[in-house]
Amino acid sequence: MVVTTSQGRQTSAAPSSPQTASMSDPLAIELRGISKAFGPVQANKDISISVRKGTIHGIIGENGAGKSTLMSILYGFYKADSGTVLINGQEVQITSSQAAINAGIGMVFQHFKLVENFTVLENVILGAEEGALLKPSLGKARKLLQQLSDEYELSVDPDALVENLSVGHQQRVEILKALYRQADILILDEPTGVLTPAEADHLFRILQGLKEQGKTIILITHKLREIMDVTDSVSVMRRGEMTDTVKTSETSPEALAELMVGRKVLLEVEKTPAAPGTPILEVENLTVVDAQGVIRVKGIDLQVRAGEILGIAGVAGNGQTELLEVLGGYQVGTGVIRMNGEELDLTGNASDGQSRREKGIGHVPEDRHDEGLILEFSAWENIMFGYHHDPEYQKNGLIMDTAKIKQIAYDKMERFDTRPLNEKLPAKSFSGGNQQKIVLAREIERNPDLLLIGQPTRGVDIGAIEFIHQQIVALRDQGKAILLVSVELDEILSLSDRIAVMFDGKIMGERLPAETDERELGMLMAGINNGADAAQSGDA
């Protein structure tokens, strides 16, 4: 839980912020009846929200619920079809991001908008330079940065190049950019997606500090835990509509989940203890060097047995992606990988995704949009994708039996409860959860001995998460081996039978879910091993 300390002191950085902040303060921002349609899709329907000054307000909703659209309207990227925006009680027209900045709104995007080879200072003043010469602006910004970092734990080296900063620090630069532009209202879009738990906690401390100073913060997230931890009030969106706004202290994760999905959801995965069998996958001293010459995986060892789920935890970009790619057959590596005791080719000369499938490896890739699916292709084409050489799909040596493939695809989609149940629709017209079901239907229905599965529920709605988790556990219970990679610690903890934590291309340690907690895993994810199990880590 986040602890905040009051260190309120009025600074020139926030000239317009009030002296005190409390729940009875006037409204910082009020939206009245905002509607926005994209073609036939109603992204926002008559949305009204009021956020009081000096509070942290959460907006939660599933993918496609309309959160991002709403914030884009607030930041001037889209123009609302109807409705009004009031800032500090005054109606404003936000026609561009510059207008939003002038109205005191700052935005921290999910994907940072920083110039990588500029310094922190240069990034902060970029677009807000005063006068023709840079020097006065830089001097002023340096002073201000110093003040801000003192007050809000926002410390970053002003002269460091952004590309050399960690993701958490880059995010701080984004916050500094907004504050430098004198933002009173700060909007953060899914800010913790790329952070370690420790970094996330640090971010929340910063947000608390800003709140103490009278700043208003809007936090967009799909993580219930974050909402419960840091917000004062929360609005729930579903299918473009605002379903409810409640005080955080008066609600529960279960109640919020129900509001989001529109029905009761089971947040915990029900599963029996694993009954692991013989090793299916054995990895020894696996090293992966990427095309740029960076060593991504540094000699790891691991083993997945039949009937168990091995969860790989870690912050994104610590080698998990490359591990999956090597196992999936489309990345080269060195070391030894054995599947059912048979050594696999790692050079790429005698192997590809195709040959791995023939060896009984199914793969649900991390990136559904770029790898797992071809979005423009129809669902049935996606269901044969990768298995299109299967004799079952052919009419003769030359022509594919498309009618039969469509029928098979329909059946698979039906078994995986894919909606809409129409195999002819292009993949892009399915929701994230249903897209994932298409990939899962393709891979699981092949009955693989080993299923590689990366970020199974990224961008997937809560309702579908439940279903997907059940399918993974069911496959395990059939005695199959499962290698699960996820950046969501909750998911790792609730699904895995064993947990390995990856950091900087190495396995930092292995834990049993019952004997560990988020704090300990978080430390391992940050590269800190207390040494309790040095023998388990993959390298010396």
Positions in the binding site for other proteins (CB under 8 A) = 39-41, 328-330, 352-357, 363, 365, 367, 370-377, 381, 384-386, 388-389, 394, 398-400, 402, 429
CA atoms within 13 A on the CB side of 289: 6
Q: Name the residue nearer to other proteins (CB basis): 118 or 385.
A: 385
To other proteins, the closest distance from the beta carbon of 210 in angstroms equals 39
Q: Name the residue nearer to other proteins (CB basis): 177 or 356.
A: 356
The Cα 526–Cα 274 span in angstroms is 28
* Strand arrangement, sheet containing 361-364: 361-364, 450-454, 481-485, 309-313, 498-503, 506-511
Place of tokens 């092949």: 446
To other proteins, the closest distance from the beta carbon of 485 in angstroms equals 15
359 token code pair: 């060896």
Q: Name the residue nearer to other proteins (CB basis): 130 or 367.
A: 367
To other proteins, the closest distance from the beta carbon of 516 in angstroms equals 32
**Number of other CB atoms surrounding residue 181 within 10 Å:** 18
Helical spans, DSSP H, in 153-214: 167-180, 197-212
To other proteins, the closest distance from the beta carbon of 113 in angstroms equals 24
Q: Name the residue nearer to other proteins (CB basis): 148 or 450.
A: 450
To other proteins, the closest distance from the beta carbon of 417 in angstroms equals 21
Q: Name the residue nearer to other proteins (CB basis): 77 or 385.
A: 385
Q: Name the residue nearer to other proteins (CB basis): 325 or 461.
A: 325
The Cα 510–Cα 312 span in angstroms is 9
Residue pair 313/489 in contact (Cβ under 8 Å)? The answer is: yes
Q: Name the residue nearer to other proteins (CB basis): 405 or 500.
A: 405
250 token code pair: 């008066």
Radius of gyration of the chain measured on its C-alpha atoms = 25
β pairing state of 450-454 and 56-61: unpaired
To other proteins, the closest distance from the beta carbon of 420 in angstroms equals 11
Place of tokens 């493939």: 405
Q: Where are the beta strands (DSSP E) in 88-238?
A: 90-92, 105-108, 185-189, 216-221, 233-238
Q: Name the residue nearer to other proteins (CB basis): 432 or 509.
A: 432
To other proteins, the closest distance from the beta carbon of 483 in angstroms equals 16
The Cα 387–Cα 56 span in angstroms is 49
Q: Name the residue nearer to other proteins (CB basis): 371 or 466.
A: 371
**Which of 43, 27, 24 has its CA nearest to residue 35?**
43
Place of tokens 């200072």: 121
**Number of other CB atoms surrounding residue 496 within 10 Å:** 22
Q: Name the residue nearer to other proteins (CB basis): 311 or 365.
A: 365
Q: Phi first, then psi: what are they for 31, rounded to 5°?
A: -110, 135
To other proteins, the closest distance from the beta carbon of 199 in angstroms equals 28
To other proteins, the closest distance from the beta carbon of 505 in angstroms equals 21
**Which of 84, 79, 95 has its CA nearest to residue 43?**
79
The Cα 523–Cα 330 span in angstroms is 31
Q: Phi first, then psi: what are they for 229, rounded to 5°?
A: -75, -45
To other proteins, the closest distance from the beta carbon of 430 in angstroms equals 12
361 token code pair: 């490896």
